[in-house]
A and B are shown apart, each in its own frame.
Chain A
Amino acid sequence: MRKLTSNRLLWPAVVLIALLLANLLWNHSFFDITMRDGNLYGAPVDILRRAAPVVLVALGMTLVIATRGIDLSVGAVAAIAGSWASMYIISSGGGSVGVVLTAVAVALLMALIAGAWNGFLVSVLGIQPIVATLVLMVAGRGLAQIITDEKILYPDNSPAYKLIGGGYLLAVPFSILLAGGIFALTAVLTRRTALGTLIESVGVNPEASRLAGVRARPIIFLAYVFSGLCAGIAGLMLTSNSTSADPNSIGLFIELDAILAVVIGGTSLAGGRFSLAGTLIGAFIIETMDAFVVIAISARSTDVFKACVVIVVCLLQSSRVRAWLLNVLRWGRPPSRPRRADPGPKSVPPAADGATAPTLTVPDVNVGSDSDSASGPGSLPVKAKS
């Protein structure tokens, strides 16, 4: 029992189950899955399918966040990949499998390059992740607009391309299989090899892991490349599913959904330990929540609802709120302290007099102003290199 409650995945899972039950209360046929034309249909399948791109982007985001980073550019990268593939498929006329494969390959290559660019800025130039990925977030949609010549493209001449986001394979939507496959691969790579541990060590304490001989640079770089790749695949999925590519709206705000999924899943934004399963549950929670709000309240209030969830989840992660809540749960009693007699002033070391303080601090200040001006309590020499 104790093991169960201490599991980090418990609360997200409870929330997901509660949301599913709420959906069931509103719509009694919510869990019904039917076979139509040999394919599966139903609300759960819909939720899974809609969650597929978010799951992919959130996977990449999880690894990036685990390295103490963040990738804001995923929406723009999805837009680049989606628009390029659509443009290529339309301009080459036929939708033969070869054309689609070329389009997908080149689009994913572009996504890889975009990820490598982010990785270069963060790991080699050492720019803060928010700022570094902001550049591509702004410029990436511009690139997508240049690719599509400011038009909305409709790549509807290719059944092969339609398969990626809207097609079925063995009665299951292909996008679910694709996202599931990539999820499984990532899980194996990070949990069955040392890669996951290395990522966590870089995220928990870059300096300590450097001293332990972990080379952070390639690991951080790879995390961004992977995030770019995932975003690219998500972009293909989104454009293929809607058979349209609008550079302004492909994957708009998907970075927020992905970050939200990661945070709900219990991965701390401060980096370090990450949970891929948590991210998966987080993405499902978001999509189920959307479905619930659309059914029960109104489609227009999804964003308000989402905002409230983000705020509540963040507040729950905050240590101050937790301490306060614990106090409330203890029926407002003050935390029990050993009531010993006052040990008396003798055990207290002699307090520093006002007269001695300046002689202690002045040399410090001098040293600070000579060697490096910007050192203070907050910026201890973490960056010993460079």
Chain B
Amino acid sequence: MTTSLAPSTPAARSRQRLSQRFEQYTQIGVTALLLVIMLIVGSLLYPNFTSGQAIFDLLSKNVFLIPLAIGMTFVIISGGIDLSVGAVMALGSVIAASLLQAGWSAVLVIPIVLFSASALGLVVGIMISRFEIQPFIATLAAMFLARGLCLVITDRSIAINDGFFQTMNLAHINLWEQETVNLRGRVRITDVYTTPSVLIAMALLVVAFVVMHYTRFGRTVYAVGGNEPSSRLMGLRVDRTKISVYVISGFCAGVAGLLFAFYTASGDPVAGIGYELNAIAAVVIGGTLLSGGSGYVLGSMLGVLVLATIYAYKEFDGDLNTGWTRLMIGVLVLFFIVLQRLVTRRRR
């Protein structure tokens, strides 16, 4: 079977593999190139744009976007979409804040947040796979539900005074010392640091990478996204995979909610409005095919970095209208969608 699929001669086989590789990595290469260009342009426009700390800030200031993008990658590769992640993230932070306010300990609160976010994902997954409701609508309902539950719990932001969350909020992990020149020309020696939240997000990224590319489950996700009927005919557990994917997305949104609670030391019911779009944008920019079946977890990480760089532009340039960042994200998404269209059309 496998031999009949491949071309006969070794030379043709390697040529075909090469062109496949090329197609596979075109988009991710474009994204990486884009990121480098954006960083270079930024460093030409603004001083200290690519100083060590600024690079690490790209991650630490958008750290909650990383889990969202990871979860979204799983969902989109499986051929679905999850519009509920922003609302679930807010729900996670609100649950954490309200339970901590009620005097629960962080040791209990963190598993509860992760569990309830995953449970919501489970419900969505069952609706999609068992009852054949379109992912778009089912996750929309979940978005309403999560956002509504947030508002039922509280209609204003709750501050978190818990010791552990405060520590996570303030903790810096110093990496190395660096000389920086500020605007007045004075040289200062500062520590380049990152935060524990970034480490958590990176750990999640590594786990997701291994699961996606080196496990049977990961390959099943690709197969389901690539062609659901044939993977069903192949005897893959399509329903179970689809449900798992939404559970993973819910879990990741729960992690994002915790990271958000760490970052702001509060639970905010209106946090993360529109974050589902940012997560989808990061995944698309990272080279994942929106029709499913193809994409990379690490690509989505690159996508997050591209978004973070756009936000950094806005931060470094105080006069820049927030509208331009949104417009820029929209244009980038469009660019990559058209690119996807061209690549898939050539493959046909």
In the complex, residue of chain A having the shortest beta-carbon distance to the beta carbon of B291: A128
> Which residues of chain A are within 8 angstroms of B326 by Cβ–Cβ distance?
138-139, 141-142, 145
The answer to whether the Cβ of B331 comes within 8 Å of any Cβ in the partner chain is: yes
- Classify the secondary structure of A's interface with B: helix
Min distance, Cβ A247 to any Cβ of chain B, angstroms: 7
Known: A138-B281, A311-B141. A377 touches B229 (CB 8 A): yes
> Which residues of chain B are within 8 angstroms of A377 by Cβ–Cβ distance?
227, 229-230, 233
- Within A157-177, which residues are at the interface with B (CB < 8 Å)? none
A150 touches B137 (CB 8 A): no
- Within B138-192, which residues are at the interface with A (CB < 8 Å)? 138, 140-145, 147-149, 151-152, 155
> Which residues of chain B are within 8 angstroms of A307 by Cβ–Cβ distance?
141-145, 148
Interface string of A182-224 (1 = CB under 8 A from B): 0000000000000000000000000000000000000000000
Q: How far is the CA of A307 from the CA of B325 in the complex (A)?
A: 31
A134 touches B280 (CB 8 A): yes
- Identify which of A41-49, A99-107, A313-321, A329-337 touches chain B: A313-321
A303 touches B147 (CB 8 A): yes
> Which residues of chain A are within 8 angstroms of B328 by Cβ–Cβ distance?
142
The answer to whether the Cβ of B81 comes within 8 Å of any Cβ in the partner chain is: yes
The answer to whether the Cβ of A78 comes within 8 Å of any Cβ in the partner chain is: no
Q: How far is the CA of A306 from the CA of B323 in the complex (A)?
A: 30
- Identify which of B28-36, B109-117, B127-135, B254-262 touches chain A: B127-135
Known: A127-B341, A134-B280, A304-B152. A320 touches B127 (CB 8 A): no
Interface string of A141-154 (1 = CB under 8 A from B): 11111110110000
B144 touches A310 (CB 8 A): yes
B330 touches A378 (CB 8 A): no
B347 touches A374 (CB 8 A): yes
The answer to whether the Cβ of A81 comes within 8 Å of any Cβ in the partner chain is: no
Known: A146-B323, A321-B131, A362-B4. A263 touches B334 (CB 8 A): no
The answer to whether the Cβ of A366 comes within 8 Å of any Cβ in the partner chain is: yes
The answer to whether the Cβ of B1 comes within 8 Å of any Cβ in the partner chain is: yes
> Which residues of chain B are within 8 angstroms of A143 by Cβ–Cβ distance?
323, 327
B229 touches A130 (CB 8 A): no
- Within B307-348, which residues are at the interface with A (CB < 8 Å)? 321-331, 333-334, 337-338, 341, 345, 347-348
The answer to whether the Cβ of A29 comes within 8 Å of any Cβ in the partner chain is: no
> Which residues of chain A are within 8 angstroms of B327 by Cβ–Cβ distance?
139, 142-143, 146
Contact residues on B (Cβ < 8 Å of other chain), bracket: 35 or more
B136 touches A130 (CB 8 A): yes
A132 touches B337 (CB 8 A): yes
> Which residues of chain B are within 8 angstroms of A305 by Cβ–Cβ distance?
148
Contact residues on A (Cβ < 8 Å of other chain), bracket: 35 or more
> Which residues of chain B are within 8 angstroms of A378 by Cβ–Cβ distance?
227-230
In the complex, residue of chain B having the shortest beta-carbon distance to the beta carbon of A363: B4
- Within A278-315, which residues are at the interface with B (CB < 8 Å)? 300-308, 310-311, 314-315
The answer to whether the Cβ of A112 comes within 8 Å of any Cβ in the partner chain is: no
Q: How far is the CA of A376 from the CA of B231 in the complex (A)?
A: 10
> Which residues of chain A are within 8 angstroms of B11 by Cβ–Cβ distance?
none
In the complex, residue of chain B having the shortest beta-carbon distance to the beta carbon of A372: B348
In the complex, residue of chain B having the shortest beta-carbon distance to the beta carbon of A362: B4
> Which residues of chain B are within 8 angstroms of A52 by Cβ–Cβ distance?
none
Q: How far is the CA of A366 from the CA of B280 in the complex (A)?
A: 36
Min distance, Cβ B317 to any Cβ of chain A, angstroms: 14
> Which residues of chain A are within 8 angstroms of B338 by Cβ–Cβ distance?
125, 127
- 17 sampled A-B residue pairs with Cβ under 8 A: A127-B338, A138-B277, A142-B326, A142-B328, A145-B323, A146-B324, A146-B327, A256-B144, A263-B137, A302-B148, A311-B127, A317-B133, A321-B131, A365-B4, A372-B348, A378-B228, A379-B227
A-B pairs with lowest CB-CB distance, top 10: A139-B330, A142-B326, A303-B148, A145-B323, A304-B148, A307-B144, A307-B145, A146-B323, A142-B327, A310-B141
* Besides the known contacts A140-B330, A142-B325, A314-B137, 20 further A-B residue pairs in the complex with CB atoms under 8 A apart: A135-B334, A138-B277, A138-B329, A142-B329, A143-B327, A146-B321, A263-B137, A300-B152, A301-B151, A303-B144, A306-B148, A307-B144, A311-B127, A314-B127, A318-B131, A320-B130, A365-B4, A377-B230, A377-B233, A386-B345
